Amino acid sequence: MDTTNKKNKYISWPVLTLMAFCTVIGLDDIMYNFQNQGMSVVTSWIIMCIFYVIPYSLMVGQLGSVFSKEGGGLSSWVRGTDGEFLGYFTAWTYWAASIPYAVDSANEIIVDIGWALTGSEKFQHQINNSTFAILTFTMFIIFIIIEHYFSHSMEILSTIGGGLMLIMTLMFVFLAFLGLAKSGGHMATQPFTWRTLIPKFDMHYWSTIAMLIFALNGCELVAPYVTKMRHPKSDFPKAMIALAIMTIFLTVFGSFALGIYFNAYHIPNDLKMNGAYYVFDMVGHQYGMGKFLLYLWAWTSVFYNAALLAVLLDAMTRMLISDTGDKYMPHFLRKKDKNGLPINGYILTVSLSAFIMLLGIFLPDMNDIFNWLLNLNGIISPGVTCWIFYSFMRIRKNSKKFPSDYVFIKNDKLAYAAGLFLLVVTAAATIMGIAPQDVKQYGSIWWYELIINVISIIVLIGLGAILPGIRRREEEYGVAFSRPQWTTIFTIIIVSVIIDIYLGGTKIALRGVYIGIEAIIALTICWVAGHRKPADATK
């Protein structure tokens, strides 16, 4: 009996593989990158899985083993190697990366509900951008209320949505190839030759690598479980290699399956938003099931994205508030209500989400907003992943100080070089990913999206650098700012954002320069207003 209980405490490598698989890849990830690269994405997936996913996963394994007592979180890794401030800033950037993701998830819920109720994309043409933004914002409010009154909502939604998503994705690949065999090998992608699978290594291709990384990252979430394995030195590599094999299978065959139903040479512009519905509609009719699979996918996606939004709103906000020291996080953000919810943290999350929605509201239509938000995730999320490789390099530079049960590459110099390589690749992909996708290059919309990409990054990351200064003012004066100071700062910020958005939507030749000048002036005014001692200071 003791032996049995002891065995039950360990996690087997197949179980860990499945846990990691659910955090890494899904059908939507395959759809997004198929639109970016067409059938050539098959080759890109193979290259990325072999040279990125495997070493990335094994590095995460060692980091999780080194810092297992701290919970194995990303911020604890950086804190352990470089101290409290960098640990705080990592927590902030990790949280900031969840903001566009949360907005995108809320958007997807609106799209999912539209398909679930109508069975078509027609509703998307019946609502304007403002209505879309209002409905998205409403989703945030609804889920905050749900989490407030239903304590187990996240677990229920995750169980239903996550399970159905995995089943539907695997079922699609199986049915697609079965249908290909039944049709005698007929594919929508014609002509289909070996050249179809070879990427065209131009600027557009390199600017889409960040989206591939965005689709493949996330396995760091299973790092804390490394030390819960019976034989971590051998079992964890097995789990990660199995993860890579499963990822290769799903991405390669999933992308190929999309080429069966969509002509890779003429991909619909709304594939990222509606592609999954189009393909399940086609598969359903192919097997005589009508729209059954379409509706099943729609409700699967509703539950999946609802669970994702619930986790992002609650878990990420709580992580930021609780995982940062009193020295850097302002007191008013750590304030909790009678139910223990970080209410001001929620307000900050929703406010920044509304800011992101405001930036995209002037894009031509709902599809453009959806694509832009998705591509913004492809910039910020890979950028945060850089912290993982940075931390790995730090522990391998001083391996005696950071011992672990599991070690990826015994030679420290070779391991350091591997970490540096992935850091450079990820950083380069992040920078190149700033270039807008899915719109005419160098057109007015392209320039507008480029500007709001830069604004989003500056605001989301820059705010994290400002908060420690606000905390120092609280310690010095008792309050950070007086009411007139808060009013002035917020008014200047709102006016500045409106002016920048207006300029970004014009065709003025030097609008980028004008936006830069206006932003500097606005920041200077905010600094002058906020630099003074608060009138109601208590110290």
Write out pLDDT tens, residues 218-273: 777 666 667 677 777 777 777 877 888 888 888 889 999 999 999 999 988 888 88
Please state, in angstroms and rounded to a whole number, the distance separating the CA atoms of residues 210 and 212: 5
Q: Where does the pLDDT of residue 44 fall: very low under 50, low under 70, confident under 90, or very high at 90 and above?
A: very high
Supply the range of the domain harboring residue 367: 13-480
Instruction: Note the pLDDT of residue 149.
Output: 64
- Percent of the chain exceeding pLDDT 90 equals 14
Q: Give this prediction's pTM.
A: 0.80
Closest CA to 460 of 364, 374, 352, 375: 352
Question: Collapsing DSSP states into helix, strand and coil, what is residue 114?
Answer: helix
Whether residue 523 lies inside any domain: the answer is: no
Instruction: Kindly state the average pLDDT of the residues 472-482.
Output: 83
- Do the Cβ atoms of 393 and 420 come closer than 8 Å? yes
Kindly state the average pLDDT of the residues 125-147.
77
Would residue 6 count as lying in a domain?
Answer: no
In a domain, 290, yes or no: yes
Residue 216 lies in a domain: yes
CB atoms within 10 A of CB 400: 6
- 302 within a domain of the structure (yes/no): yes
**Tens-place pLDDT, residues 72-96:** 467 778 888 888 888 888 888 887 8
Mean pLDDT over all residues of the chain? 81
- Determine, yes or no, domain membership for 497: no
pLDDT digits (tens, 9 = 90+) for 420-455: 999 999 999 999 888 888 888 888 888 888 888 888
Which amino acid, 353?
Answer: S
Asked if the structure places residue 519 within a domain, the reply is no
CATH number of the domain where residue 402 is located: 1.20.1740.10
- 469-502 residues labelled b (16+ CB within 10 A) or e (exposed): ebbebbeebebbbbeebeebbeebbeebbebbbe
Determine the length of the chain: 539
Residue 511 located in a structural domain: no
Contacts of 380 (CB under 8 A, 6+ apart): 96, 97, 100, 456, 457, 460
Confirm if 445 and 368 have CB atoms less than 8 A apart: yes
Number of domains present in the structure of the chain: 1
The confidence score (pLDDT) of residue 2 equals 40
CB-CB contact of 316 with 173 (8 Å): no
Range with the poorest average pLDDT among 4-13, 67-76, 346-355, 423-432? 4-13
In the numeric block, the tokens 């040479």 are attached to: 265
- Of the candidates 195, 177, 186, which has an alpha carbon nearest to the alpha carbon of residue 254? 177
